[in-house]
Amino acid sequence: MPALASSLLPLKPNTARVRVGVRAAVCAALPVALGAATGHTVTGLIASTGSLAALYSADAAPRREAFTVGSAAAVLVLSLACGTLAAHHPWPAVAVTALWTALVSYACTALAARPPGMMMFVLVCALGTVLPGNVLLLAAATAATGAAATLLSVLDQAWRTRRGQPEPVHNNRAARARTAARLAVAFNPAGSPFVLMALRSAGAVATAGAVSILLGLERPYWAMATAAAVLSRGNQTSTAANRALQRLLGTLAGCLLAALLLMAHPRAWAAALVLAALTFATELFVSRNYALAMVFVTPMALLLVDAAGPAQPVGALLTSRAVETFLGCAAALAASYAVTWQWARRHQNQALVLVLHTSADILAADETAGSQRRLGRLAAAVHRLQLVSERTRAERAAVSAATAPLQKETLQALDRAARLLQHSAPEPDPHTARALRATARQLETQPLVRGAA
């Protein structure tokens, strides 16, 4: 309870992200203001979703910033396009959003995307299913906003560098090694935990959307977005339960803020200023306090839908969003339980055996040729074992207990592998290699029994 209570308390904003928040706010306001000035307010409002690309800024060197923010902008455009293709058709909208959730969940997890992870991509896709307009026009306008966010991010970083401010330091070699390891796991779906994570997220989104339709709710987009948001930073039981409560409380508080704003029914310039302020606040808190971030994400989404469509009674709109929030949180919690102890035990056992065999291959090699290739395979195997081990420990008690007997051997294998990876050409050790292979064979032939070591 103390940990949960502390997670709900407001934290001091991350001041290092203030500049990123300002960039995102400017990019959110510009298309709305331009649309108001040209008589295309609705298009400007929808195009403002491209500004969310700035939230994925790595605050890095200009070239890396261009790649990171530009990639996020491209995915946001695709998200909106996918949603609008199924606009105003409830069941296709649920199917498209669930499929898109699976894809972006897999990609964001594999690439270790920074907060807000897949949340904004799924939110924009879900919003697209209820927004009016021509898909090509909306995609082009959103792309222009995303390009502006990318350009502004690059120029800001270049300006800081020119002023003599230190450029963010990144260990490029280590970063490339980590990326290569993650990609090696990602491109081997048969042994990757990313598959289950993607299926869990997609299942939660599909369930939330389907139940919303069956209950007669007019627009299931918010239930789907809620389910994705709860699972965006991890869909293990302990993580999902905490996030569901944060999402629920943050959304309810956001509904109160949205009520105050919706009663004014902001249009044109007023909508631009409000969206800019909400985007700025979201960036400040999204990586530090999830509940507080949802206080600002909720009215941002509701204002976008309200301003882009016909006026709706505020009370009915907020009541519907509150019900959908409950549905999304419930679907996410149900999905977090969608794993068996057998699956967890088998996958951690397989990942451990792979590390043991790969380490043995390195220690048994008596020539340096091919050492880098072997070390690369070991790095990928280590990353896979770390992922599986971390996630099984955060699952419900029955699952984590089933994998507990493997933890000691897992820690020893990871420690040994870390020492091997420190050397470009590790010294051969045939005796240790034989011992590792014997341990691996024992694990491979061991029956799948709960509690067996």
With contact defined as beta carbons under 8 Å apart, do 360 and 430 qualify? no
pLDDT at 310: 61
The one-letter amino acid code at 26 reads V
Q: Picking from 136-145, 268-277, 366-375, 412-421, which range would have the lowest pLDDT averaged per residue?
A: 366-375
Contacts with 367 (C-beta within 8 Å, 6 or more apart), sequence order: none
Give CA–CA dist 55/114, Å, rounded. 9
Task: Give me 72's structure tokens.
Answer: 């996020």
Band the pLDDT of 1: cuts 50, 70, 90. very low
The dihedral region occupied by 117, where left means phi > 0, alpha psi between -120 and 50, and beta the remainder, is left
DSSP state of 135: H
Contacts with 177 (C-beta within 8 Å, 6 or more apart), sequence order: 379
Higher model confidence: residue 236 or residue 301? 301
Name the average pLDDT for the chain: 83
- pLDDT tens digits for range 31-72: 988 988 888 888 888 899 999 999 898 877 888 889 999 999
User: Which of 69-83, 355-369, 377-391: highest mean pLDDT?
Assistant: 69-83
Higher model confidence: residue 176 or residue 452? 176
- pLDDT tens digits for range 333-358: 898 888 888 888 888 898 999 999 99
Task: Give the count of beta carbons closer than 10 Å to the beta carbon of residue 174.
Answer: 9
Band the pLDDT of 405: cuts 50, 70, 90. confident
pLDDT at 112: 79
pLDDT at 4: 47
Contacts with 293 (C-beta within 8 Å, 6 or more apart), sequence order: 116, 250, 282, 285, 286
pLDDT at 48: 92
- pLDDT tens digits for range 90-137: 999 999 999 999 999 999 888 878 888 899 999 999 999 988 778 888
